[in-house]
A and B are shown apart, each in its own frame.
Chain A
Amino acid sequence: MADSLPAGARLFLPPYMLERIASAGSNHLRECARHTLVVDQQFRARAGAVILPQGSVKRGEPARYVHSAEQQQALPGRLVRGEGEDDSGDPAVDEAYHGLGATYRLFWEVYERHSIDDEGMVLLATVHYGRDYENAFWDGQQMVFGDGDGELFNRFTIALDILAHELTHGVIQHEAALAYVGQSGALNESLCDVFGSLVRQHQLEQSVDEADWLIGKGLFTERVAGRALRSMARPGTAYDDPLLGRDPQPDHMDAFVVTEADSGGVHINSGIPNRAFHLTAMALGGHAWERAGRIWYDTLVDQRLGQDSDFPTFATLTLDNAERRYGAVSQEATAVREGWRRVGVLP
């Protein structure tokens, strides 16, 4: 029956029928049915929670597990490299392993945070997710990275700040749990960009003047007219491409974008707090992770930061934390106040 179907024809088949084709159809149909069954089973199994492996019991040491989804969409996939194991020879696996290590190091060495939950939570990543999958995300328990489509996007592990960005979503989930919508969502995204950028600067030992302040540099193929996903220094200038469109990020509250898309513009309006951090860090000079980063981290873990915090609430808390740590008339407090004033969040 199935062999006589015209080219291009498609059917909606229940699993038992797929299983029959997978065992008795032509070679091509068997392969198609087998793949569909695998995806279907993975999808149906997705509702179950992943049991996380043991984390790190020793503060200062991470527990990394990098898996390969082998172009499927099952999580976490096949374990390829565990903590302390040698390079696998798979660039995506090894980039993820080292990127998670670099991110752990920043949080531990600078802010004394022991992993995502400060209690040694395992750092779980899956690479080679899906086919030509051009995205990276945090699923609530682990990080996931696609290989890119090769047309517009390279593999997503190529950018250290994107690895750190995804891990920081986990940190936020265990702290203020900023709601992923509107201004609180944009703050969530901005914090991930801030610490993503800081991880890269820390790894490269860059001063604020040496850093490029780009997010996702290297992700675009050479066919894309763009430098990166976002620019913290100059939001709205990262790309201008016929297929991707133009970088939509505003750099001031005057240009705040009211939209239902992108969960209320979480990746759009994050340009405003991103620039506030950049301005603060540039005013302070030196290494951004030391003072500007410290103030932002103090705010990230501040019990007063609520799930629905907006830009002014967050800005006021950064200022308060700067004054508490460095003094009310300190250079740091002035830099923070001026940073938020220049993007139109504080008067």
Chain B
Amino acid sequence: MSQPPPLTPASVVRLRREGGVAHFPGLSRPRCIHCARYSEAQRDELWRLLSSAESGAGLEEAPGADRRRFCLSVEDTNGTSLWLLTVAEEAVPQELFEWWRQAETQAENGSAP
């Protein structure tokens, strides 16, 4: 695993939550954060949260069943994947979860969660 690349205005961050006791297609769709809509400080904050998730990710998948996980990725403006991480939801900072929760509704107007 490696740290995410620096987020530029051209970066697109995708957050996808999956797993759980049932698969809901509507809830497992990727949610996009277009970095061009955010300030440098907000992008820095988002990068730190992604980095935090990366450092909290275990080397082995958590045991058990029906657990949820987040698939995090950073793409460039052409859609080329630059960084990809699948991580147990417990390793995702609450603030990043808030970005995911509000990505669909607030990504359009550019306000951070």
Q: Do A and B bind each other?
A: yes
Give the number of chain A interface residues (Cβ < 8 Å). 43
User: A140 near B23 (CB under 8 angstroms)?
Assistant: no
The CA of A187 and the CA of B63, in the complex, are separated in Å by 17
**Residues of chain B lying within 8 A (CB to CB) of residue A46:** 90
Max chain A Cβ within 10 angstroms of own Cβ: one of B20, B22, B66: B22
Known: A243-B26, A245-B25, A248-B23. A169 touches B66 (CB 8 A): yes
Question: Counting CB contacts under 8 A, is B77 at the interface?
Answer: no
Question: Counting CB contacts under 8 A, is A229 at the interface?
Answer: yes
**Residues of chain B lying within 8 A (CB to CB) of residue A47:** 58
**Residues of chain B lying within 8 A (CB to CB) of residue A246:** 25
Contact with A along B71-113 (1 / 0, CB 8 A): 0000000000000000000110011000000000000000010
**Residues of chain A lying within 8 A (CB to CB) of residue B19:** 262-263
User: B21 near A135 (CB under 8 angstroms)?
Assistant: yes
Question: Counting CB contacts under 8 A, is A302 at the interface?
Answer: no
Known: A8-B112, A10-B95, A73-B90. A230 touches B62 (CB 8 A): no
The CA of A192 and the CA of B22, in the complex, are separated in Å by 12
Q: Which of A162-199 contact B (CB under 8 A)?
A: 162, 165-166, 169, 180, 188-189, 192
**Residues of chain A lying within 8 A (CB to CB) of residue B68:** 135, 137
User: B18 near A244 (CB under 8 angstroms)?
Assistant: no
User: B63 near A140 (CB under 8 angstroms)?
Assistant: yes
User: A137 near B48 (CB under 8 angstroms)?
Assistant: no
The CA of A47 and the CA of B52, in the complex, are separated in Å by 17
**Residues of chain A lying within 8 A (CB to CB) of residue B64:** 137-140, 169
The CA of A242 and the CA of B29, in the complex, are separated in Å by 13
Question: Counting CB contacts under 8 A, is A24 at the interface?
Answer: no
Q: Which of B20-55 contact A (CB under 8 A)?
A: 20-28, 41, 45, 48-49, 52
Question: Counting CB contacts under 8 A, is A326 at the interface?
Answer: no
Give the number of chain B interface residues (Cβ < 8 Å). 30
**Residues of chain B lying within 8 A (CB to CB) of residue A230:** 22
Question: Counting CB contacts under 8 A, is B65 at the interface?
Answer: yes
Q: Which of A1-53 contact B (CB under 8 A)?
A: 8-12, 36, 39, 43, 46-47
Question: Counting CB contacts under 8 A, is B56 at the interface?
Answer: yes
Question: Counting CB contacts under 8 A, is A267 at the interface?
Answer: yes
Question: Counting CB contacts under 8 A, is A288 at the interface?
Answer: no
Known: A137-B21, A242-B26, A262-B19. A39 touches B94 (CB 8 A): yes
The CA of A171 and the CA of B32, in the complex, are separated in Å by 39
The CA of A134 and the CA of B63, in the complex, are separated in Å by 19
Closest chain A CB from B44 CB (angstroms): 9
The CA of A246 and the CA of B49, in the complex, are separated in Å by 32
**Residues of chain B lying within 8 A (CB to CB) of residue A43:** 56, 90-91
User: B21 near A136 (CB under 8 angstroms)?
Assistant: yes
**Residues of chain A lying within 8 A (CB to CB) of residue B95:** 10
Question: Counting CB contacts under 8 A, is A268 at the interface?
Answer: yes
User: B112 near A162 (CB under 8 angstroms)?
Assistant: no
Max chain A Cβ within 10 angstroms of own Cβ: one of B21, B52, B66: B21
Question: Counting CB contacts under 8 A, is A329 at the interface?
Answer: no
**Residues of chain B lying within 8 A (CB to CB) of residue A243:** 26-27
Closest chain A CB from B30 CB (angstroms): 10
Closest chain B CB from A321 CB (angstroms): 24
The CA of A248 and the CA of B58, in the complex, are separated in Å by 30
Identify the A interface with B (CB < 8 A).
8-12, 36, 39, 43, 46-47, 73, 134-140, 156, 162, 165-166, 169, 180, 188-189, 192, 216, 229-230, 241-246, 248, 261-263, 265, 267-268
Identify the B interface with A (CB < 8 A).
18-28, 41, 45, 48-49, 52, 56, 58, 62-68, 90-91, 94-95, 112
- When A and B form their complex, which 8 residue pairs have the shortest distance between CB atoms, in order from nearest? A245-B26, A140-B63, A245-B25, A137-B66, A12-B48, A267-B23, A229-B22, A169-B65
Apart from A135-B20, A139-B63, what are 5 other A-B pairs with CB-CB below 8 Å? A12-B52, A137-B65, A139-B67, A165-B21, A267-B23
